[in-house]
Amino acid sequence: FHRQKKNQMAENNLTNMMEFILLGFSDLPNLQGFLFGIFSIIYLSILIGNGLLIIITKTDPALHTAMYFFLGNFSFLEICYTSVTMPRMLADLWTQKRTISFIACAIQACFLYIFGGAECLLLTVMAYDRYVAISKPLYYPLIMNHKVCVQLVVASWLTEVPALIGETYQIFSMNFCGPNKINHIFCDAPPLFPLACTDTYKVEVSVHVVALLFVIIPFLLILASYIKIITTILKLPSTSGRAKAFSTCSSHLMVVFFFYGSGSIAYLQPKSGQSSGSSKVLALFYTIVTPVFNPLIYSLRNKDVIAALRKLLPK
C-alpha cells in the first residue's frame, strides 16, 4: 500500500512537472543588478567582436582563404552558442522570474549540445587546416580548396545533430518528480539528474558515450594534428620560419585551451568535489570566456585581421 501511494505521489508530481525553476544566481540577491550589467556588456562584446570577424572574413579579399573561412564560421557558431544561454540568463536576472517550461528547457539543452558539439568538430577541422598549411604548404591550396572547406564546415555542423537530439530526448524522457529547482544557470544534464525519480545510470552512461564521441575524440585529433605540426616546425632550418609557422597556430591553440580546459574541468570533475557555485562559474567560463576572447585572440595576434579591421572601421 505504501509503495502504491508513493508511486501515485510520483505520478501526481510528474503531471505538475511542466516547468522548472532555474536558480541561477538567486543566492546572490544583492548582486542581481550588477550581474545583469556585467553580463549585458559581455554579451554585447561577444556579438560585436564575433560579428566584426564574420564581416571582415566575408568582405576583405585578403582574408578569402581556408583559415579565415573557418574562422568566420567559428565566430558565427560562437554567437549561436552564447545566444542559447545568455538572453535567458539576462531575462531571469532582470525579471527575477526564473521559471522555464519543460519544453523550453529541453530545447535549450538540445541547442547547447548541438552548438557545443559543432564547436568541438570545427576546432578539429581548424587544427587539420593548420597541419596541412604547415606540413604540406605546396599542396595546401589544392587540398584545402573552397569545396572541401564547405564540406568540412557542413560536416562539423550536421554530423552530431541526430545523436545529440537522441541524447536530449533520452534525458528529458526520464521521470521527474520534484523538486523542480535546477541549481544551475541553464538546462544541462548533470543538474537535471538529481531531479529524476528513476534510475539515471543508463542515461548517464549514454551521456558519457556521446561526450567521448564528440568531445574527447575531436580533442585527441587536435592533439595529433599539433604533435605533427610541432615536429614539422622543429625541422624548419630558420628561426624566423619556425616563429612564423608557430604564430599561425598560436591563436587557434589558445582558443582550444580556453574551450577544452574549462569544459573538461566542468564535466569530468567528480560530483563529490564540485559545489553548485563552482559548477556555475565553470559553466560561465566555457559558454562566455571563449566567445569573448575569440575575436581578441585572432585580432591582436594577427596582422591580416588588424589590416582588414583598419580598412573597415573608417567606413
Joined grid coordinates for residue 153:
564546415
How confident is the model over 33-71, as pLDDT tens digits?
A: 999 999 999 999 999 999 999 999 999 888 899 999 999
How confident is the model over 157-176, as pLDDT tens digits?
A: 999 999 999 999 999 999 98
How confident is the model over 198-219, as pLDDT tens digits?
A: 888 999 999 888 988 888 899 9
Give yes or no for a contact between 123 and 290, defined as CB atoms under 8 angstroms apart: no
| Centroid of chain to Cα 29 | 28
| DSSP-derived pairing of the beta strands 181-182 and 99-101 | unpaired
| Centroid of chain to Cα 116 | 4
What is the DSSP secondary structure assignment for residue 266, as one 8-state letter?
A: H
How confident is the model over 93-144, as pLDDT tens digits?
A: 998 888 999 999 999 999 999 999 999 999 999 999 999 999 999 999 999 9
Strand order in the sheet with 99-101: 99-101, 19-22, 181-182
Give yes or no for a contact between 132 and 148, defined as CB atoms under 8 angstroms apart: no
| DSSP-derived pairing of the beta strands 19-22 and 99-101 | antiparallel
**Domains in the chain, ordered, with CATH?**
25-309 (1.20.1070.10)
| Centroid of chain to Cα 288 | 9
Q: Where are the beta strands (DSSP E) in 123-200?
A: 181-182
HEC string of 2-38 equals HHHHHHHHHHHHHHHCCEEEECCCCCCHHHHHHHHHH
User: Could you give the 3-state DSSP secondary structure of residue 176?
Assistant: strand
| Centroid of chain to Cα 154 | 17
